[in-house]
Amino acid sequence: MKCAFCESKDIQSRVIVRNELAFAFPTNIPITPGHVLVCPKRCVATFDELTNEEIISIMNLRKQLRESLKKVFGAKGFNYAWNEGGVAGQAVRHIHLHIVPRKEGDSGITDYEPRKFLYRPGSRETSPDTELNQVVALIMAGLK
């Protein structure tokens, strides 16, 4: 099987909603009830490979699903995420947006401090302005 999202009959049978360029289905290992994935129909690994039309289609499904998840699961907030590349945790090489409905009392990640949320344990001091200004200059140079 090349791509589980494209070829799995189980996943395809659980599609919640689709439009011309994207589809959504529940993940089989949810963080919270209602955790769904939104994928482009075209199998690409990274966000940058998506066309503008595919991005709009994915975001339209995100908006549609958000309203349903609020009604059905009482969601008061959401986590949205995607992983690109194996080193970032991408297990299926078909880009997909995670929509995780959240409400008071959820289990799982509840501390949204970015270093903990993005798997960087331990503390780090606030970067001095000089260091941040150097980072700005480096990134700006890379944009040229």
- Helices and strands (DSSP H and E) totals, the chain: 5, 5
Which H helix or E strand runs over 98? strand 97-102
- The pLDDT tens digits of the residues spanning 82-109 come to 999 988 888 899 999 999 989 988 766 6
Q: How confident is the model at residue 110 (pLDDT cuts 50, 70, 90)?
A: low
Global pTM reads: 0.79
Q: Which 3 state secondary structure label does DSSP give 84?
A: coil
In the CATH scheme, what is the code of domain 4-109? 3.30.428.10
* Rounded Cα gap, residues 119 and 89, in angstroms: 10
* Rounded Cα gap, residues 98 and 80, in angstroms: 5
Higher model confidence: residue 62 or residue 114? 62
- Catalytic machinery residues: 96
Q: Residue 8's Cα: distance from chain center in Å?
A: 20
- The pLDDT tens digits of the residues spanning 25-51 come to 999 888 888 999 999 999 999 999 999
Domain spans in the chain, listed from the N-terminal domain onward: 4-109
Q: Annotate 5-23 with DSSP letters as a single string.
A: HHH-HHHHHT--EE-SSEE
Average pLDDT value for the chain? 85
Half-sphere exposure of 106 (CA within 13 A, CB side): 23
